[in-house]
A and B are shown apart, each in its own frame.
Chain A
Amino acid sequence: MNKIKTIIRKEWAEVFKKRMVLFTVIFLPLFLSVLPLIILYGMGGSSTATSTSGVPGQLQQFCKTSMTAGECMQYYIVSAFLIMFMLIPLFIPVNIAAYSIVGEKTTHSLEPLLATPITTGELLAGKNLASVIPAVIATWAGFGIFAVGSLIITRGGALASALLDPMWMIAIFLAGPLLAVLSVNFSIMVSSRVNDPRVAEQLSAVVILPLMAVFFGQIAGLFILNSTLVLVICLVLIMLDALMIYLAVRLFQRETILTRWK
């Protein structure tokens, strides 16, 4: 456990000196939590209609019975942004892992590190946690800002309770960490097979594609996210995470990395 802690301390000390990483960890959650709040605030005036009869049929399925037409529209738009909110646990680990793993190659520090009695499991656990923890904290902090802000803006009305319903709690507090684990292990897997940190970062970024599919799928009305669907997604993520961890450990071959990384 001490070795894992040491790796985490080292990673954080190193990686948070990179401005790009710091910018991503701070700016992305801020942007994605403040933007829906601005929209909520900006649409405040249109929430006075009392009936949802004026809302297009496709959007009506989003509306809860106690919502006004305006609130329903707000809910629809902000819901779409909340899916984008899940970018945080996907994107931050990719950014950190690209430096923390392939970055070892550019500084030639991997060989001395692998020469220590650290096991592959301990090393990858340290690297994983060093990337996952900041991503989860940033996601939760961002969501905290959004939750408080939306409660203030909507004065705790029906919209607020809809926006903070169990579906989003599951998404943020369960799917978020699972997405972060998926993202970082995918990055580890990619970085075990490429030679350039930028290539690793770019290839790893493909993990955001399924999220984009969910985002556009809901906009196109192909499906509507609800608690059950989010739970199913979480189950799939658990399986994917297990697969990714297995593959990341399998592909992190000390010998291949030492002899291929020039």
Chain B
Amino acid sequence: MIKTENLSKKFNTTLAVDNLNLQVDEGEVFGFLGPNGAGKTTTVRMLTSLIGPTSGTAIVNGLRIGHQDTEIRRTVGILTETPGMYDNLSAEFNLEIYANLYEVKDPKGQVEKYLRMLGLWDRRQDEAGTFSKGMKQKLAICRALLHEPRILFLDEPTAALDPEASHLVHDFITELRKEGRTIFLCTHNLDEADRLCDRIAVFKTHLLVVDTPSNLRSQLFGRRVVFHLANSNETIATSIRSLPFVREAKVVENKLLVNIDDPETHNPEIIRILVGNGADIQFVGELRHSLEDVYLQLVKNA
């Protein structure tokens, strides 16, 4: 659905995007993470044909940026970072304008469909300027979907939203994914990326890594198993640390935390050693590293 080849963008002397190569598959929710100023918005703008690349190229929905820009804009939807609406026009009229600009066949029908879907139908005659941030964001999502794009670019869709509004947006993204749409999600919200994305890219001017959140966790930290012990001590940790498949082992209060790549294979051996060393195991579980750990590690190393 989206493929970039050495995509680069330079503003005067500032390199915003450096040789970006990535591929996003159809129906995938693809998270694009990076710190402020990393070039995420610039990348989205290039992929939606709002600005041109300095070098390299990209194919979006089978169309080449810089050559078929109007076609690309016709087939993708975008929720911009600051989703400006015409504040003194009604919500309905705001959407009708865009439905016409996107050449939607049944503008009124589509407007009604999305206003109802996002719970704004009863407020359709109200000026957009009277809406809360969450409602404006929902209105902007409606706008991005009016022409039923197969690819949707969402730039910080839950920024500055309260938890309830964020939850609603998350649910909606999940619904869109079920419809088989491809979603390119730029976000700072790592929990959001973790929950919604099939794969994530961590980006800071150039691409740092692309993988599924769980693979990234395993690659960076392995998997972490927690053994709750009635009588944990450093000696037990030392014996476990000496095992060749253990990346790290440490004692925190009455818990022994062990990082390993393959708990299903190696847990029985660890348990045998613990029992052999006189440990009383109360229960065993797996602790997930947060995506934040992964992200911070990657960005720090970059």
Q: Mark A11-35, 1 if CB is under 8 A from B, else 0.
A: 0011001000000000000000000
Give bound CA distance, A245 to B86, whole Å. 26
A109, A110, A116, A117: the one contacting B85 at CB < 8 Å is: A109
The answer to whether A112 and B86 touch across the interface, beta carbons within 8 angstroms, is: no
- Chain B residues near A13: list those with CB within 8 A: 86, 89, 93
Q: Identify which of A175-183, A221-229, A251-259 touches chain B.
A: A251-259
Q: Identify which of A2-10, A68-76, A137-145 touches chain B.
A: A2-10
B222 contacts partner chain A, Cβ-Cβ < 8 Å = no
A165 contacts partner chain B, Cβ-Cβ < 8 Å = no
B242 contacts partner chain A, Cβ-Cβ < 8 Å = no
- Chain A residues near B83: list those with CB within 8 A: 108, 112
Binding site for B on A (CB under 8 A): 2-3, 6, 9-10, 13-14, 17, 104, 107-119, 254-255, 258-259
Query: Which residue on chain A has the smallest CB distance to residue B101?
Result: A116
Query: Which residue on chain A has the smallest CB distance to residue B90?
Result: A13
10 contacts between A and B (CB under 8 A): A6-B100, A10-B86, A107-B87, A109-B84, A109-B86, A111-B50, A111-B84, A112-B83, A117-B102, A254-B50
A-B contact count (CB 8 A): 73
The answer to whether A258 and B86 touch across the interface, beta carbons within 8 angstroms, is: no
A2, A3, A112, A255: the one contacting B78 at CB < 8 Å is: A112
* Known contacts A6-B101, A14-B89, A112-B78, A117 near B70 by CB under 8 Å: yes
Query: Which residue on chain A has the smallest CB distance to residue B71?
Result: A117
- Chain A residues near B283: list those with CB within 8 A: none
The answer to whether A258 and B143 touch across the interface, beta carbons within 8 angstroms, is: no
The answer to whether A117 and B101 touch across the interface, beta carbons within 8 angstroms, is: yes
The answer to whether B45 and A258 touch across the interface, beta carbons within 8 angstroms, is: yes
B55 contacts partner chain A, Cβ-Cβ < 8 Å = no
- Chain B residues near A104: list those with CB within 8 A: 84
Q: How far is the CB of A44 from chain B (nearest CB, A)?
A: 46
B98 contacts partner chain A, Cβ-Cβ < 8 Å = yes
Q: How far is the CB of B155 from chain A (nearest CB, A)?
A: 10
- Chain B residues near A109: list those with CB within 8 A: 84-86
- Chain A residues near B48: list those with CB within 8 A: 115
Residues 86-112 of B at the A interface (beta carbon under 8 Å): 86-89, 93, 97-98, 100-103
A10, A14, A114, A116: the one contacting B102 at CB < 8 Å is: A116
B140 contacts partner chain A, Cβ-Cβ < 8 Å = yes
From A13, A112, A259, residue with most partner B Cβ within 10 Å: A112
Q: How far is the CB of B13 from chain A (nearest CB, A)?
A: 14
- Chain B residues near A9: list those with CB within 8 A: 97
Binding site for A on B (CB under 8 A): 11, 45, 48, 50-52, 70-71, 73-74, 78, 80, 82-89, 93, 97-98, 100-103, 140, 143
From B51, B93, B101, residue with most partner A Cβ within 10 Å: B101
Q: How far is the CB of B7 from chain A (nearest CB, A)?
A: 15
The answer to whether B73 and A255 touch across the interface, beta carbons within 8 angstroms, is: no
A2, A14, A115: the one contacting B88 at CB < 8 Å is: A14
Query: Which residue on chain A has the smallest CB distance to residue B107?
Result: A6
* Known contacts A108-B82, A115-B73, A116-B73, A3 near B101 by CB under 8 Å: yes
Give bound CA distance, A111 to B70, whole Å. 14
Q: How far is the CB of B43 from chain A (nearest CB, A)?
A: 13
Query: Which residue on chain A has the smallest CB distance to residue B74?
Result: A117
Q: How far is the CB of B139 from chain A (nearest CB, A)?
A: 11
A113, A117, A259: the one contacting B11 at CB < 8 Å is: A259
- Chain B residues near A113: list those with CB within 8 A: 101
A6, A117, A119, A255: the one contacting B97 at CB < 8 Å is: A6
Query: Which residue on chain A has the smallest CB distance to residue B49?
Result: A115
- Chain B residues near A6: list those with CB within 8 A: 97, 100-101
Give bound CA distance, A113 to B88, whole Å. 16
Q: How far is the CB of B198 from chain A (nearest CB, A)?
A: 25
The answer to whether B51 and A107 touch across the interface, beta carbons within 8 angstroms, is: no
- Chain A residues near B103: list those with CB within 8 A: 2-3, 117
- Chain B residues near A115: list those with CB within 8 A: 48, 50, 73, 78, 80
* Known contacts A107-B84, A108-B84, A114 near B101 by CB under 8 Å: no
Give bound CA distance, A172 to B214, whole Å. 72
Q: How far is the CB of B242 from chain A (nearest CB, A)?
A: 56
Q: How far is the CB of A99 from chain B (nearest CB, A)?
A: 11
- Chain A residues near B86: list those with CB within 8 A: 10, 13-14, 107, 109
Q: How far is the CB of A154 from chain B (nearest CB, A)?
A: 45
- Chain A residues near B50: list those with CB within 8 A: 111, 114-115, 254-255, 258
- Chain A residues near B45: list those with CB within 8 A: 258
Give bound CA distance, A3 to B73, whole Å. 14
* Known contacts A112-B140, A117-B102, A10 near B89 by CB under 8 Å: yes
Give bound CA distance, A85 to B78, whole Å. 46
